Amino acid sequence: MKIGIVSRFGEQDGISIYSDNLVSAIRRQGTECITIGGTESKADYKINLKSIRLKGHIAKIVETEKLGLVHFQYIAARSYYGISSLNMNFVIALSQKVPTAVTLHEVHYNSEDLREKIIKKIEEIIIKKANKIIVHTEGHRKFILEKYKKNAEVAYMGVTLHDMHKRKNNSLLLFGIISPNKGAEYLIEAMQELPEYELTIAGSAVDKEYYKKLIELVGKSKAKIKMETGWISEQRKKELFTNCDMLVLPYIKAPYQSAVLHDAISYGLPIVATRTGGVYEIVEQFKCGEVAEPKSKESLAAAIKKTSSEYEKYQKGIAGYREEANWDRVAARHIEVYRKLTKMCLNHAA
């Protein structure tokens, strides 16, 4: 079996890093894998993913490489395929002579405004069009089954295993893109009730007004809070996760599964996440930390204290998830899905 994976590769992007790890692990399992990326990607084939001729470009690669299946990575928040065209080039490209699978890195449970309604409608079309949908949580799978009457497959996001963290101090970390949906202001407010803790907020600020608001809140706060903004290198990320004891994700909207959450798990850090979208589901299912209510400084503070008081228990939960979600196990799960899909499509053709 020879497969093609369509994504970004070798770039400073969460899904690109995910795809690089997945391809490496699939190849270690002995399955041939061709990478198909954008023009800036470090891929075997570089094409314009936003082209209206996307279907034809991929069809030529399928024919040239004799691929048995094409696997697309998809996230609406940072659409690789052109949200201005409503991703119709991507939807059309799902019709190939070979089976197509799509990993949805986010699943939208609700749609609160016009933009989200459009994104959710595109998501529905993709779910119905692709031969197979892959998601990262059981909650996402159940939602797709109930909402769209389609069976999706669960493949965990994948964890790179570092040494399990040894607790050092009461230090908290909020890491990743700093945007209004991340709810950082509620964590800053919660720090007033946590005088024995210190917080580091690190990542790229994509909303200047929101960032300005956070700076003002930090300036007024008497809590121990540091902010570090801009692109964080892998070396600096390692230092942050190594020197902090707990990751806090105070998100108010999160249709995706979190790569940052998996970074914490890779270093053995317990997590406090808010009950929104799919971001908290792994934390709750595997008991990797505590789940707080969104937009509640009281709930966040209580969850942080509880996680701190039962630290070793949550690290046992993390160890269980690390066993299930290491990259070799995740690659084996994907290969299993590929084989089932190709067999199913051959049976239908017969």
Residue 240 lies in a domain: yes
Please report, for residues 195, 291, 302, the alpha-carbon distance to residue 288 in angstroms, rounded to integers and kept in the order given.
24, 10, 16
Q: How many whole angstroms separate alpha carbon 67 and alpha carbon 46?
A: 16
Query: Mean pLDDT score of the chain, rounded to an integer?
Result: 93
Q: What percent of the chain has pLDDT over 70?
A: 98
Residue 98, pLDDT score:
96
Q: What is the CATH number of the domain that holds 345?
A: 3.40.50.2000
Q: How many whole angstroms separate alpha carbon 119 and alpha carbon 65?
A: 33
Domain shared by 123 and 179, yes or no: no
Domain count, the chain: 2
- Token couple for 98: 């070979």
Residue 164 lies in a domain: no
List the beta bridge partners of residue 306. none
The string of pLDDT tens digits covering residues 152-203 is 999 999 999 999 999 988 999 999 989 999 999 999 999 999 999 999 999 9
Instruction: List strands edge to edge, sheet with 132-135.
Output: 45-46, 32-37, 2-6, 69-74, 100-104, 132-135, 153-154
Residue 166 lies in a domain: no
Q: Could you tell me the pTM of the whole model?
A: 0.91
Domain shared by 191 and 229, yes or no: yes
The pLDDT confidence band at residue 263, using thresholds 50, 70 and 90, is very high
Domain shared by 126 and 195, yes or no: no
Q: Is the pLDDT of residue 9 over 60?
A: yes
Domain shared by 125 and 199, yes or no: no
Which domain, by its residues, includes 140? 2-158+326-349
Domain shared by 188 and 303, yes or no: yes
The string of pLDDT tens digits covering residues 27-37 is 999 999 999 99
Give the torsion through C-alpha atoms of 266, 268, 269, 272, to 10 deg: 80
Average pLDDT for residues 37-62, to the nearest whole number? 96
